[in-house]
Amino acid sequence: MTMTAADLHQLQPAMTDRQRKRFLNVGCGSAGPERLPECLRQPGWEQIRLDINPAVKPDIIASTTDLSAVETGSVEAVFSSHNLEHLYPHETVVALKEMHRVICPGGFLLITLPDLQQVAHWIARGKLTETLYDSPAGPITPLDILYGHRASVEKGNTFMAHKCGFDKKSLSEALVNAGFAEVRVKADAHYNLWGYAQKATSAN
């Protein structure tokens, strides 16, 4: 994964001193703990799974735009993997503010989603429907990254459709506008963006 335990210790040293840390896995899906970033698989982390789809048996059934079931400042971290792009642009504003709200002062959001800038490179080369890589769900094309995995949507899983997207600049701006005090965004080699956003150490 992009964010390792060593990376997290450097970015967030105060967090490692707490005996009990909870993180909210927003849009958790059916993936097991092996799909979590290494930094959140370390001893001492307790996962709370949240998803809009009851079929994946989350701890909390809710939309990312309404985290009212989670108390303000009650988790040390939020992990969001490939779910923000499933919202309309105006809904992403609400979702990020909700994530900011539930994180305690000094806590952080770790978010990953498609990097449209990298995808646009392949579209411009005429490779819209060519396979970029193989995933557990099957071959992934630039068209799948733009609009959602077509095979999953075809089978009736409309939650997989994409309604918006980001590049590094727009994701950084969205995180800052949501209230986060420190924001870092980078791209990886697999057409993803990774964002680390820390909440201020005092309530704001």
Alpha-helical runs (H) found in 68-182: 89-102, 116-124, 142-147, 150-154, 168-177
Q: Give pLDDT, residue 32.
A: 85
Domains and CATH numbers, the chain: 5-114+166-198 (3.40.50.150)
How does pLDDT run across 47-82, given as a tens digit for each residue?
A: 999 999 999 999 999 999 999 999 999 999 999 999
Cut 0.85: pTM above it: yes
Beta bridge partners of residue 50, listed in sequence order: 26, 60
pLDDT 10s digits, 141-166: 999 999 999 998 898 888 889 999 99
Report the C-alpha gap between 25 and 45 in whole angstroms: 12
Each residue's pLDDT tens digit, 172-197: 999 999 999 999 999 998 899 999 99
Answer for the pair 164, 87: CB distance below 8 angstroms, yes or no: yes
Helix (H) and strand (E) counts in the chain? 6, 9
By the 8 A CB rule, do 50 and 25 touch? yes
